[in-house]
Structure 1
Amino acid sequence: MGLTAIDLGLRGAASGVFLLIILVALQRRATSQQALLGMAMSAGGAFYAIATAPYFPKSSWWWVLPILSGQPALFWLWARAAFDDDFVLRRWHRAVLLGIVAFGFALTLGWAYTPALARVGGQGLALLNLALALAAAVQTVKTWRADLVARRRRLRLAILAINVGLITVFVGAGFAAIPVAVPGAPGSLPVALVLCVVAMMAAVTSLATPPAVPANDATAAIASGDVRGADRAATARVVVDPILLRRLDQLMSVERTYRQEGLAIGALAARLQVPEHRLRQAINEGLGYRNFNAYLNHYRIEDAKLALSDVTQREVPVLTIAMDAGFQSIGPFNRAFKAETGLTPTEFRREALSRPVLADIGEPQREIG
């Protein structure tokens, strides 16, 4: 009974923290896809903590288990939104989540009539959830290098490891006698402890996040020659060396280092002769960028916009302009350009070249003779 009481206490604490995360997000009126998916993940975590607790009524398993089976898919979407700044939640993502939950209901309802078929379906569902967990892991590791947010870099791997561990246990139960994990099964106390740790880490990640700073404030100040404005923007949240910001802007605006193929933040730090963590801090906390690729794309898109607006480059293919600006393929260029301008490169060029030239309007006419 003592271990059961500890188990229930840990689950209660985890559920309370998850609910607190939801309440804080609602109070902040967070509407981003990461915030919405985070609230859904928190609700799922609280539900999982309660539904897998000892003494939870077995009569409720038929509707509890299908909902729990959708948690790996929800975690996959949350990981994409949290760790990939370019991720956009689409209809087919929602369809995958709803499809998994619907399939889970079909398995639980069909278990009493066709147990052999339901067992095979449960194993297939377990493999699908494992694939989603691995996809989230690959995406998280893939974008880790370009991540500029120090807190997110420190916590993402720990959160990922714990969640993937839970999903692996959950998936392993899919190859047991029932298609999904049995609530209240032996080993409940370790699961409760892990849930409590996950809840605490999620709270640190979401509740301790500082307010966002508009990107490009220091960039605009430096580009306009406003050194004091650059200094103020650099010290808005933390003390960032304004000299480093000006040297960085010199490399980007004058030397056009962003055009270098495969430019990585480590190579840029070596060129500036500063530690990589200082450069990450300068770009993130001094200029407001969360991702190194987004920082490079800011300059690359501006470069491409100038080329697309140039009448003398009317016949230059868009791919050539993209490659000259530093992009390695047309797909990422088109996505980044439309996200920045709301237009495709071809539409932008068409509008830019169709504008009349008004350079001489307003100038006084000179008399001859």
Structure 2
Amino acid sequence: MMPIESLSQLDLLIRMMVLGQLLLLGGLVLREPASRLRLLLLACGLSVAGLVMLTAPIPDEQYGLLRNVLLILTDAFAFIFWLLICHLFEDDFNPGKWPTPVKWLLGLFGLVYLYALGIQAGGSILHDLIHAISLGLVLHAAYIAWRGFKADLLDTRRRARVMVVLGITLYSTILVIFEFADERYRNAAVFGLFNATFLLLITTIAVARTFRLQYEPGKPAAEIAATERQEIARPQPGDSQPTLVRHQSEWSPADARLSKALDSFIAECGYHQHGLTISGLASQLNCPEHRLRRLINQTRGYRNFNSMLNDLRVADARERLVDPAYDDKPILSIALDLGYDSIGPFNRAFKAKTEQTPSEFRGDIQNRR
């Protein structure tokens, strides 16, 4: 077996390589215009860099005050990771619309977080509480990725969801659990080397992927960017109809037939079916599921099947709530007629589209008559 000193030296070498990869990734991200996604990626990179340095085979006393800073960066990973997963997989995710009390509570938690790690250096029960919250956030991120898998219309995002559930989430959970283990196991040289090696693998894959997207041979960067925009295009808030990404002249005969069948299905209000899924619709239209996913995304502009259903159903709901003939019909009955299984999902979908509940919308209409 390799001596502990040799393991430590190899561990340090690998960690230096990881830091180099992170610097390279940071440079690639900073080349593009700022966005919420790029800021989250940079924050993730800083957090991982803190983890790489903090868990290196170096005595804690040699860090000095730097250890507190690294501790803050390291333990922030679960929070940043959760925000990143929400941003990537939840199309309606918008922290700016969170209620004011929630924002105040988060601000208070931020102060406690800085105090527990920056002042107390993790030497109190507050640190254990932060670890428990971190574990909950990581597991919830896995749930978010799993929950939206079936309805996701983007193949790249579907693969990313699987990677999150099976890879990153499992690894992050193991790290958090290790924080509760005995120090002799948590600081074992073999575990540290494994940790560094795994991070090197992940960062190498990330760098290779980034370079391939930006500098793929035979495919100009502008064309790659256009392809990515086409794939992830979606309706903007306030749009009455989703954006058509591909013109009809670009459709294949099979896509044209499928689009016509989908139009007929929508015209007949087939989307009022209860429990309708993308796989169920593909069966009814007698087409491969992957083809239907791609067609809805590229010709209707949706990234999520449930978003399309909600838009269609809410549009019908608004027509019925405006119609005096439906004044005496309970809102629950309208929701059930439109394909919802309960009032809760209907209320959330309606408010997300109109910024009013169905009851508020109906009341405003009736007051204007």
Code of the residue aligned with 1:194 in structure 2: it is F
Give the one of 60, 85, 106 matched to 1:79.
85
Residue pairs, 1:48-67, within 5 angstroms: 48-53=51-56, 57-59=62-64, 60-67=66-73
Change (3 A) 1:206 1:271: farther
Q: Which residue number in structure 2 is paired with residue 251 of structure 1? A: 265
Q: Which residue number in structure 2 is paired with residue 128 of structure 1? A: 133
Change (3 A) 1:43 1:110: closer
Code of the residue aligned with 1:82 in structure 2: it is L
Q: Which residue number in structure 1 is paired with residue 352 of structure 2? A: 339
**Residues 278-313 of structure 1: CA deviation (Å, up to 9, x unaligned):** 111111122211111001111101110110110111
Q: Which residue number in structure 2 is paired with residue 16 of structure 1? A: 23
Query: How many Å separate the matches in 2 of 1:285 and 1:291?
Result: 12
TM-score normalized with structure 1 length: 0.76
How many equivalent residue pairs? 334
Query: How many Å separate the matches in 2 of 1:8 and 1:336?
Result: 47
Change (3 A) 1:100 1:110: closer
Q: Which residue number in structure 2 is paired with residue 101 of structure 1? A: 113
Contact 1:125–1:174 under 8 Å retained in 2: no
Larger gyration radius, structure 1 or structure 2: 1
Change (3 A) 1:52 1:104: same
Residue pairs, 1:222-241, within 5 angstroms: 232=247, 235=250, 241=255
Code of the residue aligned with 1:243 in structure 2: it is R
Query: How many Å separate the matches in 1 of 2:129 and 2:353?
Result: 41
**Residues 177-234 of structure 1: CA deviation (Å, up to 9, x unaligned):** 56x976x965444323322343355564899471143449xx9699xxxxxx897158
Change (3 A) 1:160 1:200: farther
Change (3 A) 1:126 1:214: closer
What is the RMSD computed on CA atoms of the aligned residues?
A: 3.7
Structure 1 gaps, min length 5 = 112-117, 223-228, 357-369
Q: Which residue number in structure 2 is paired with residue 114 of structure 1? A: none
Q: Which residue number in structure 2 is paired with residue 213 of structure 1? A: 233
Code of the residue aligned with 1:102 in structure 2: it is L
TM-score normalized with structure 2 length: 0.76
Change (3 A) 1:147 1:137: same
Change (3 A) 1:97 1:267: farther
Change (3 A) 1:297 1:167: same
Change (3 A) 1:193 1:286: farther
Structure 2 gaps, min length 5 = 1-5, 214-224
